[in-house]
Amino acid sequence: MSESSVTDVSPDLAGEPDPGPPELPRTSRQYWTEAAHTGALREVRLPRPGPGEVLIETLHSGISRGTESVVHRGEVPASITAIMQAPFQLGELPFPVSHGYLNVGVVRQGSQALLGQTVFTLAGHREHVVVPEADCHVLPEDCPTERALFAGIGEVGLNALWEAPVLAGDRVAVVGGGLIGLTTALFASKLPLERLQVIEVDADRRALIGSLGLEAVSPEKAATDNDVVLHSSASSAGLATALKIAGDDAVIVEQSWYGTGDQQVPLGADFHARRLRIVATQVGEVPGPRRMRRSRGQRLAAALRMLDPRFDTLISGRSTLQELPTVMADVAGSAPWTREQILHVIDHPLTAHHAFG
């Protein structure tokens, strides 16, 4: 099977499948990473919720480019596969696995209180997902369904702001104007900061950042007395810039995940001489200072509430679920058309292709 195959992979559906309630389809499609550089759709029986669970019919899912590219290429280090699994993934890393964590859909079975509600969950690219009722986050009334996809990225950004921490009156720089960096910057812009700059090498991306009401500068023009630098470029050059523009005794929060890739980090000059700190942040845990007072669910709910209309501008492309194997191969391989992408949305047509019972 080639990496761009869109042929459905159908497990054994011998015998008469359980049709479930008449308004629901008999089968459902799921995106799986079958092997390194190989993604495909599987058609399976419709999942059924158990006690305390709900069945969600997906409207949209979103591609988190950095993490999902690492998964697609098979670059998850064996020592951390358990730590880096998505909350509701199927299978086990490295593969076969159905990963992903940006999903908005409608509750079709389960809790009467949630039935018919549109919710965000940390589920992946599957037409139907089953998750615990407690892990469903009902969208605010003024939040469009596609904007809600940013909630999962928003909690990554919020986690980094808490990790530093970023405080009122701080001078803050965000290095890297991709999905994580821009989400983090938009959240940071809600704080009363003395200065907030987004450091971005691409001129076109800087223009987009400026349209969001943020200050975007090239690395050469960045201020160098920052209290906090949030790095998300996933590159050695970006991390070198972060070290250079951090003020004395400042903290650099590393938001990038490099997988099995090796990075060159210039620690010989700024790092030691100016007593800098590089802090890791990983969304699997709430940062220590707040861990006793905030659950992961509360953090995600806060991120969902913090989304505003500026996030709509960051939706840069869309494809159907049927196209996802090819799209994911392009994204993970940095095909030219993907380089301008920020959040790529996957549309899930509501059961249009299924036979009903």
End-to-end, the C-alpha distance of the chain in Å comes to 32
Beta-carbon contacts of residue 309 (< 8 Å; ≥ 6 apart): 147
> Residue 298 corresponds to which amino acid?
Q
Residue 268 pLDDT: 79
Tally of CB atoms within 10 A around 330: 19
With 0-12 CB in 10 A as exposed, 13-18 as middle and 19+ as buried, what is 31?
Answer: buried
Beta-bridge mates of residue 228: 172, 251
Q: What is the DSSP letter of 146?
A: T
Backbone angles phi, psi at 304, to 5 degrees: -65, -40
Pairing between β-strand 195-199 and β-strand 38-45 as defined by DSSP bridges: unpaired
Residue 270 pLDDT: 81
Residue 175 pLDDT: 98
Tally of CB atoms within 10 A around 238: 21
- Residue 239 near residue 199, CB atoms below 8 Å: no
Task: Give all strands (DSSP E) within 25-167, no chain letters.
Answer: 27-35, 38-45, 53-63, 90-91, 97-98, 103-109, 118-121, 128-132, 137-138
Q: Over the range 167-188, which residues count as b (16 or more CB within 10 Å of their CB) and which as e?
A: eeebbbbbbbbbbbbbbbbbbb
Give the CA angle between residues 356, 55, 332 to the nearest 5°. 95
CA-wise closest residue to 216 among 206, 226, 230: 206
Three-class DSSP category at 249: strand
CA distance 41 to 34: 9
Domains delineated in the chain: 27-143+307-347 (3.90.180.10), 154-288 (3.40.50.720)
CA distance 305 to 285: 20
H-only helix segments in 189-269: 203-211, 236-245
Which tokens belong to 252?
Answer: 């650099």
- Residue 180 near residue 66, CB atoms below 8 Å: yes
CA distance 130 to 121: 10
Query: Going residue by residue through the chain (357 aa), what tens digit of pLDDT does each one get?
Result: 333 334 444 544 544 444 445 578 999 999 999 999 999 999 999 999 999 999 999 999 999 998 999 999 999 999 989 888 999 999 999 999 999 999 999 999 999 999 999 999 999 999 999 999 999 999 999 999 999 999 999 999 999 999 999 999 999 999 999 999 999 999 999 999 999 999 999 999 999 999 999 999 999 999 999 999 999 998 999 999 999 999 999 999 999 887 766 777 878 778 888 999 999 988 889 998 799 999 999 999 999 999 999 999 999 999 999 999 999 999 999 999 998 999 999 999 764 444 333
